[in-house]
Amino acid sequence: MRNARIAPMRALTFLASRFVAGDAIDDAISSVRALNQDGIKATLDNLGEDSLTREQALAAAEENLVMLRRIAEVGVDSNISLKLTQIGLAIDPALARENLIRIAQEAARLKNFVRIDMEGSAWTQKTLDLFYSLHDQYPNLGIVLQAYLRRTEADCRDAVARKVRVRLCKGAYKEPADIAFPSKEDVNANYDKCAAILARAPIPAFATHDDARIAAALKACDAAGLVKSDYEIQMLYGLRAKRWGELRAKGHTVRIYVPYGTHWLPYFTRRIRERKENWMFVVRNLWS
């Protein structure tokens, strides 16, 4: 029985090594430097969520401060991304706020930018509330919105009105049908609708590996009168590297989400568990 468990775990470890840039910050910095050499920007993310103790939340916040300082020290072109439950939202909202302020202040000092990731729907409103309570004071904070949620069209319109920076993604959490669109077609349609709305926001970021979604976002940006430096196309580390280069060669700003750390299992399995097409996409990219 033990051997039966070991084999699948080894396979997952092998697969995850393709999509996670190592266990430590210096591993990730090396990956970012390689991307920068190809004219591609990065977002660093120390994997982890749902800190269970104050000590874990403080340690996670400290790692984000270390990330910002290492980026500045070595001079790579990268911002950072974090989850609010990682820095304490699940155990003490006041602690999460305090940690986020510390991180935002350090990012401002170092002239960098912090993106707040979106988690499952139980955290959507709490994440937005904390983000908006600080955004006016810390405009170097941005947010992520998920196209598979039914509420996201309204959230995009609100973000445009508030002039905040948004990364639009499809979403990777399992949600009930009354909260999220159950079909791929409906998610795609909502992504395109939200992309057109966000073309009026400052530096919108379109996070997708779907060529049809990229085409729709670029069309929306063109219709809004944006030039290529006004928006970003974002993708995940390890997926479709050839496509990154093609987009960059055409003059688009391309930013790659570069995760690192030992807590890779939830990150990796979530992306292959919820939607069967994600698994096939990962397998195809092993040989691309």
Q: Of 45, 117, 155, 200, which one is the catalytic site residue?
A: 117
> What value does the CA radius of gyration of the chain take, rounded to a whole number of Å?
18
Sign of CA dihedral 145, 151, 155, 157: positive
CA distance readout (Å), 157 to 15, 199, 225: 38, 11, 18
Contact by Cβ (8 Å): 44, 71? yes
- Strand intervals (E) in 93-231: 114-116, 141-146, 166-169, 205-207
- Our measurement of the distance from residue 100's CA atom to the centroid of its chain's CA atoms, rounded to an integer in Å, reads 17
- Least Cα distance to 127 among 172, 93, 164 occurs for 93
Strands 114-116 and 41-46: unpaired
CB atoms within 10 A of CB 281: 16
Q: Of 167, 200, 240, 255, which one is the catalytic site residue?
A: 167
Please confirm, yes or no, whether 117 is among the known catalytic residues.
yes
The residues annotated as belonging to the active site are 117, 167
